[in-house]
Amino acid sequence: MKRKKKSGSGGANWMDTYGDMVTLLLCFFVMLFSMSKMDESKWIALVQALNPSAVVNGTSMEEPPEGSVVTQDQVDRDMEQLYQAMAEYFQQENMMEKVSIGKGNGYVFISFNDTVFFRPNEYTLLDEGKEVLDQVAQSIAEVGPSINEIRVLGHTAQATANEENDYTVDRFLASNRATVVTVYLQEKEIIDPARLVSVGYGQWRPISSNAIPEERAKNRRVELIVTGLDLDALAGDDIKQYYSMRESTGTPSPAYQPEEQNAAS
């Protein structure tokens, strides 16, 4: 007698295929969820994982471009390079009577007598001042990836008892001078404009007495504070931290609180 063939339902086979499909769908939706708040670093990581030979924004993902990764040691070296370059330039140009330069932990501080850039009570940039800022811009551009922020501070002097002491005029003059210098640096395209800040203090942060003309002249100044990235700090890069917090919460980041430098005091 011939044996009857068993009629298999095929249930086990199609259930395996169905289970694989459901698992893949689950993985797909998990990936979509993880990408719901995509930023540049996540996108690059995803592309690199799926296709190491891909090109993102003109850059191959196989190997990072040389010098693209900035370390804290590199930042510290760049800030020292900036200080040395500026100090050498001011000495060569015999400007040390009108310019003072210093450095601290992660920043370079430069104070210019107002006559370097402007005529008395004016805020139109002099041609000689433009030449000085050209050199400053060139030195900053060479260490651009290590710069966190450039802050330009404008100051005036308090009027004598015989002169009209209009603090409103002082405020506007100081702010306008700081803004003019900031705009000139921005036009050089040496750094992200978000990293340029102008502040006008007027007569309220003197570094000398206002009793005699020689001392008052010291208070009329424009200062530059160039800070380097602090990659060991929580914020790391203040600007990126600021925008990342705004995107995620809709409010400015608590970490974005640049400390006021007291180098001028």
pLDDT digits over 42-52, tens only? 666 666 666 65
99-104 vs 59-60, strand pairing mode: unpaired
Q: Using alpha carbons, select from 80, 82, 105, 71 the residue that is nearest to residue 236.
A: 71
φ, ψ at 25 (rounded to 5°): -65, -40
What architecture does CATH give domain 72-249?
Answer: 2-Layer Sandwich (3.30)
Q: Give mean pLDDT, residues 236-254.
A: 57
Phi, psi of 230 (to 5 degrees): -110, 85
Query: Cβ distance 114 to 173 under 8 Å?
Result: no
Given the structure tokens 């004598």, which residue do they identify?
Answer: 160
Task: Label residue 80 by pLDDT band (50, 70, 90).
Answer: very high
Say how far apart CA 219 and CA 174 lie, in whole Å: 11
Handedness of CA 68, 72, 76, 79 (dihedral sign): positive
- Between the CA atoms of 231, 254, 222 and 216, what dihedral angle is there, to the nearest 10 degrees? -130
Confidence of residue 20 (pLDDT cuts 50, 70, 90): confident
Beta strands 147-155 and 196-202, pairing class? parallel
User: What tens digit of pLDDT does each residue of 108-154 get?
Assistant: 999 999 999 999 999 999 999 999 999 999 999 999 999 999 999 99
Residue of 107, 40, 65, 76 lying closest to 232 (CA atoms): 76
Q: What is the pLDDT of residue 5?
A: 56
CA distance 174 to 237: 28
* Of residues 56 and 193, more confidently modeled: 193
Share of the chain above pLDDT 90, in %: 53
Domains of the chain, residue spans:
11-60, 72-249
pTM of the predicted model as reported, rounded to 2 decimal places? 0.66
Q: Which of the 8 DSSP states describes residue 237?
A: S
